[in-house]
A and B are shown apart, each in its own frame.
Chain A
Amino acid sequence: MAIFLDETTKVVYQGLTGSTGRYYGNLNREYGTNIVGGTHPKKAGTDVDGMPIFASVADAKAETGCNASCVFVPPPAVKGAVMEAAEAGMELVVVITEGVPAHDEAWFYNKLITDYPGTRLLGPNCPGIIGPGKANIGITAGHIAKAGGPVGVVSRSGTLTYQAVYELKEKDIGVTTSVGIGGDPVPGTNFIDCLAAFEADPETEAIMMIGEIGGSAEEEAAEYIKANVTKPVVSYIAGVTAPPGKKMGHAGAIVSGGKGTAKAKMEALEDAGVKVGLNPTEAGDLMAEIVKTL
């Protein structure tokens, strides 16, 4: 079992008519994701490489019964796209788009929590989610993950997610689900949501958590692990050597006022019983040792 999606998840792509949406829509379809089509308010009735275009997410749902959406629209349109998907009753909304204003994110995060509790938002600025062998929603290269578990992966960084699942595959270790929560200040789904889902998922027997400097999400996750997670957790935190006050690409990745350092995060995690690797390879080795004992 994968968390948040499976082979029956029916996905509509908002932004399928754009070049990026089309490229990854095709890759996701080849992977086996159940794609029902895309949306565009003015292109209903046309198709993108055989994938039908609907005027709206609501229309797509009425026609196909889709229950998830993947958003590739440009930053100014993301707020509208997320709300359109939520209003249409999508259970999972995956926003790949990078560069969404923080105030928009904070707004639709709170709007969804209050008015659309049945909708799970993943992202923005995330690589998406992959249940190896089942479905791939987003921009992860599907072949880098081995199917079948027993490891669940959750990460704040796109490319480090790939690195992590790839390190596992090199060691012949499979992944139940790999979730990229994204590096923005207000991620729709956070570490704790994923830890809780992995803890509840019978196929997931160990958890790999990839964090980075900035904010306090890793510290909060450590608290949660201490109190609620019985499965072994391995972690890696990027940015051990990042200088304070310099924003490292992600909106969230900054050490400021002595807060958000990798050291503090690693200590909090170790204190919660998590095995912490100093680089992705070491984290992979630590996980391999754990998997041997399962």
Chain B
Amino acid sequence: MDLFEYQGKQFFAEYGMPVSPGKIAFSVDEAVAAAEELGTPVMVKAQVHTGGRGKAGGVKFAATVDDVREHANNILGLDIKGHIVKRVWIEKASDIAEEYYASFTLDRSAKKHLGMLSKEGGVEIETVAEENPDAIAKIWVDPVVGLSEADVRGWIAAANLPEAAVEGSVDILQKLYTAYVEGDADMVEINPLILTPEGVVHVLDAKVTLDGNSEFRHPDYEQYDATQTRDEREAAAHAKGLQYVGLDGSVGVIANGAGLAMSTLDVVNQVGGKPANFLDIGGGANADVMAGALEVINNDPNVKSIFINIFGGITRGEEVAEGIIEAMKRVKIDSPIVIRLDGTNAQQGRDMLEPHLGDALMMEPTMLSAAEKAVSLVAG
């Protein structure tokens, strides 16, 4: 789950990190009211789930309330890498002497947490990593052992932060690690972490990705779930608890298991088709789930044929068959369905589908032949 900057800052503030006061605004008038309340100068910042906002004109300094009106007017509705700006964050402006970078994420190769700290903040860390890798100080943290103050001091020394920034950074970086671990984040990033002319270290931006699997111990994360950017199809699938990613082709795909679903997309492409989506009905999917998945696919106007690819492990063939039959009864499926069914209780499932086979539902013995069939049906 990706958080907007302002949500990330609220998240950081809960762990005692210093962030600037600000207000979220959904309209120009709200932005102006926020600026009047905070007092100018302020920053007007587009809130989108993507980087590169500054370059796209989504972050502006406003010296006066009139400036706020002008910038908010320009930024709201702006398209930043396909993300339309629907909200702006109005924040008290800060004086900046220096800009740093700090983050924690999981290093899957090392199986440890990886902290990255750099004196060269304010630009994308990928750029720093390419052009000047020595400017990034890395620290690997064993989750069982944790991160001590001494570790943090050593890390700051390795990053060559100036003396004036040391104490403030020690405090913030320890809190950042706590937020990362206790908050079950996949990633926390501050870019830039700034040093003000007065010598104060301050969090000026926040990029936070939370682990959706941890929601059971963070019931308040539901609020972030509600603000995820999803296209209409994705939102409908999400509401049914399905793993769905919208694509731009015409073969609707339903498979069980992420690997098989990805593989199904590959095979559809290889036989000359274009998948309309990735949809994993998951392990142990029952008739209801299958019916829901078919409804989601059916609502996509681009879909011309549907390829259901099931290899049952935890998913049982007879449940899949029941779901398809049930869905065909429940809603009118507009596109022909091609199914390939193997694995647990596959024969039982195939026997159940047999009497329903025809122009609307076809069965193929292999993944490849089913893909070919589904793709040929698109062409008509």
Residues of A within 8 A of B (CB): 20, 24, 75-76, 98-103, 106-107, 109-111, 114, 127, 139-141, 144, 155-163, 166, 183, 185-186, 210, 212-213, 215-217, 220, 236, 238-243, 246-253, 257, 278-281
Contacts and interface: CB of A to CB of B under 8 A. Distances in A.
Interface string B236-261: 00000001010100000001111111
Interface in B249-284: 255-263, 265-267, 269-270, 275, 278, 280, 282-284
Contacts of A278: 266, 270
B258 A240 contact: no
B213 A99 contact: yes
A170 to B, nearest CB: 9
B103 to A, nearest CB: 13
Given A75-B216, A162-B343, A279 B263 contact: yes
B216 to A, nearest CB: 5
Contact of B259 (A75, A144, A250, A257): A250
14 contacts: A103-B143, A139-B314, A144-B342, A160-B260, A163-B263, A216-B108, A240-B269, A242-B262, A243-B247, A248-B262, A248-B278, A279-B267, A279-B367, A281-B367
Given A248-B258, A253-B258, 8 more contacts: A20-B284, A99-B213, A100-B213, A156-B259, A166-B311, A183-B258, A250-B258, A253-B262
B311 A162 contact: yes
Contacts of A210: 259
A156 B258 CA distance: 10
A114 B144 CA distance: 9
Given A157-B259, A163-B263, A238-B262, A103 B367 contact: no
A240 B111 contact: no
B370 to A, nearest CB: 11
A157 B257 contact: yes
B259 A183 contact: yes
Chain A CB within 10 Å, residue with most, of B181, B258, B260: B258
B39 interface: no
B259 A238 contact: yes
B184 interface: yes
Chain B CB within 10 Å, residue with most, of A99, A101, A114, A240: A101
A25 to B, nearest CB: 13
A163 B367 contact: yes
B106 interface: yes
B19 interface: no
Interface in B116-146: 126, 142-144
B259 A216 contact: no
Chain A CB within 10 Å, residue with most, of B108, B255, B283, B368: B108
B258 A249 contact: yes
Interface residues of B, number: 51
Contacts of A250: 258-259
A99 B202 CA distance: 35
A252 B108 contact: yes
A179 to B, nearest CB: 14
B108 A246 contact: no
A276 B259 CA distance: 16
A236 B263 CA distance: 9
Given A102-B186, A278-B266, A251 B343 contact: no
Contacts, number: 170
B217 interface: yes
Given A252-B108, A279-B267, A139 B259 contact: no
Nearest to A220: B109
Chain A CB within 10 Å, residue with most, of B259, B260, B314, B343: B259
Contacts of A100: 213
A119 B45 CA distance: 50
Contact of A246 (B186, B245, B270, B311): B245
B113 interface: yes
A6 B366 CA distance: 32
B108 A166 contact: no
B112 interface: yes
Contact of B262 (A107, A110, A239): A239
A13 to B, nearest CB: 15
B112 A106 contact: yes
A76 B216 CA distance: 7
A238 B261 CA distance: 9
A111 B112 CA distance: 11
A238 B257 CA distance: 12
A163 to B, nearest CB: 5
A212 B189 CA distance: 27
Contacts of B211: 101-103
Contacts of A155: 259
Contact of A101 (B142, B184, B255, B313): B184
Given A76-B217, A157-B259, A212-B262, A110 B314 contact: no
A76 to B, nearest CB: 5
A82 B342 CA distance: 32
Nearest to B312: A141
B266 A238 contact: yes
A79 to B, nearest CB: 11
B366 A110 contact: no
Contacts of A215: 108-109
Contacts of A183: 258-259
B20 interface: no
Given A103-B214, A213-B262, A248-B261, A139 B111 contact: no
